[in-house]
Amino acid sequence: MTTYLVFINILTFLLYGIDKWKARRGKWRIPEETLIWLAVVGGSMGALLGMYLFRHKTKHKKFTVGVPVILLVQFALYYYFMLR
């Protein structure tokens, strides 16, 4: 599980950076749904770091509110299942 979380967060972080790079150059972009789903499947920390480090998607409410909410829900679920 730890290996998966490290992998998905690094992948998500890199894809946020790549999407920002593509946005600046007017190239084909990574769909927003893909970026959100990467957060949902465990890459929320990578998404949050990518958003603020690359200053990417920080004007979109579904990212500025959605990604932190996803992260909080994931932390809550982790603690719920680990303390049971």
Asked if pLDDT for residue 11 goes beyond 80, the answer is yes
**Residue ranges of the domains in the chain?**
2-82
Task: Specify whether the CB–CB gap between 40 and 69 falls below 8 A.
Answer: no
**pLDDT value at position 56?**
87
Query: What digits encode the pLDDT tens for the residues 17-65?
Result: 999 999 999 999 999 999 999 999 999 999 999 999 999 898 999 999 9
Task: Specify whether the CB–CB gap between 48 and 71 falls below 8 A.
Answer: yes
What would the DSSP string read from start to end of the chain?
A: -HHHHHHHHHHHHHHHHHHHHHHHHT-----HHHHHHHIIIIIHHHHHHHHHHTT-STT-HHHHTHHHHHHHHHHHHHHHHH--
